[in-house]
Structure 1
Amino acid sequence: MYAIIRTGGKQYKVQAGDVVQVDKVAQDLGAEFVINEVLLVGGETATLGSPLVKGASVTVVVTKQAKTRKQIVFKKKRRQGYRKFATHKQEFSELFIKAISFDGKTAKAEGSANVVDVKAVRAEKAQARVADRKERAENKSKGTAEVVKKAAKKVAKKKVAKKAVKKTAKKATKTGAKKKAAKKTSKKA
């Protein structure tokens, strides 16, 4: 069984178990309510309303209330120096079709409504990002401390190596000077 309902000035074809995005409805998140504006009920036999089908109703649950993605609104008139730029986010409600009732027959959904609180999810994600940032900063500071220690060890090793090189250079120059002096004296003799 399916039905065509009207809400927010628009028409939607729905079946039991469907999830439909409609213009925002004035209901709380997770609220269950009945839509009586049914224009057609179909199935084995179709019943067309004039304008509404009497005795037909659709039971729905509000599963999400949020805004759509950002749309760009750009207006321009050629050769007039006129340009306008704006953006728009449309509010919507997501409805889970729980049951369709007509003429004593009822088509019920097999699953259940999955209610999502978008604001709470965003808040949790923001907290997770902040915690991740703090953790990275702590790891970075620990890492810099370790890097500083390693750099200090390398500098100490280099200093020790330089001292050893200087000592050997001094010894080499002293022995080199003695050998040169010995050669000079040997040549003279």
Structure 2
Amino acid sequence: MYAIIQTGGKQYRVQEGDVLEVEKLNAEPNDVVEFNEVLAVSKDDNLQIGSPYVEGAKVQARVLEHGKGKKIIVFKYKPKKNYRRKKGHRQLFTRIEIQKILV
């Protein structure tokens, strides 16, 4: 059984027991969060596809921790104009564990 959920502008294929990193959520560690934006659910070769979401479907997950991703360097320049800007960025994330897929 798996589901496709949408959070933080991205879509994820999840199963019970999966651990994944999503965009930062406003929840404390060990809180249970629900994702109501379920795009599709597959159970025993029966695929339900929502338009846009499957009605009554929810995915429950437990927040494990918050953190920052790897640093990326953003470098902008314009040739021959002595214009250079160097900036670093670390994206915030929340690590969650999928507990239940409810249909």
TM-score using structure 2 length: 0.95
Q: What code does the residue aligned with 1:37 have?
A: E
Give 3-state SS (helix, strand or coil) of 2:80's partner. coil
Tell me the equivalent position of 2:54: 53
1:6 aligns with 2:6: yes
Deviation at 1:10, TM superposition (A): 1.1
Deviation at 1:82, TM superposition (A): 0.8
Give 3-state SS (helix, strand or coil) of 1:69's partner. coil
Q: Distance in 2 between matches of 1:69 and 1:7?
A: 20
Tell me the equivalent position of 1:15: 15
Deviation at 1:79, TM superposition (A): 1.3
Q: Distance in 2 between matches of 1:80 and 1:62?
A: 48
Q: What code does the residue aligned with 2:10 have?
A: K
Deviation at 1:20, TM superposition (A): 1.1
1:68 aligns with 2:69: yes
Higher fraction of strand: 2
Tell me the equivalent position of 1:161: none
Higher fraction of helix: 1
Q: Distance in 1 between matches of 2:99 and 2:91?
A: 25
Tell me the equivalent position of 1:33: 33
Q: Distance in 1 between matches of 2:91 and 2:84?
A: 23
Q: Distance in 2 between matches of 1:95 and 1:25?
A: 10
Q: Distance in 2 between matches of 1:42 and 1:78?
A: 52
Q: Distance in 2 between matches of 1:66 and 1:39?
A: 27
Q: CA RMSD in A?
A: 0.8
Q: Distance in 2 between matches of 1:9 and 1:55?
A: 21
Q: What code does the residue aligned with 1:75 have?
A: K
Structure 1 runs of 4+ off > 6 angstroms? none
- Structure 2's unaligned 5+ residue stretches are none
Q: What code does the residue aligned with 1:15 have?
A: Q
The structure whose RCO (Cα within 8 Å, separation 6+) is larger is: 2
- Structure 1's unaligned 5+ residue stretches are 103-189
Q: Identity of counterpart residues, as a percentage? A: 44
- Alpha-carbon deviations, 1:47-67, whole Å to 9, x = none? 000011011110100001011
- Alpha-carbon deviations, 1:9-31, whole Å to 9, x = none? 11111011101110000111110
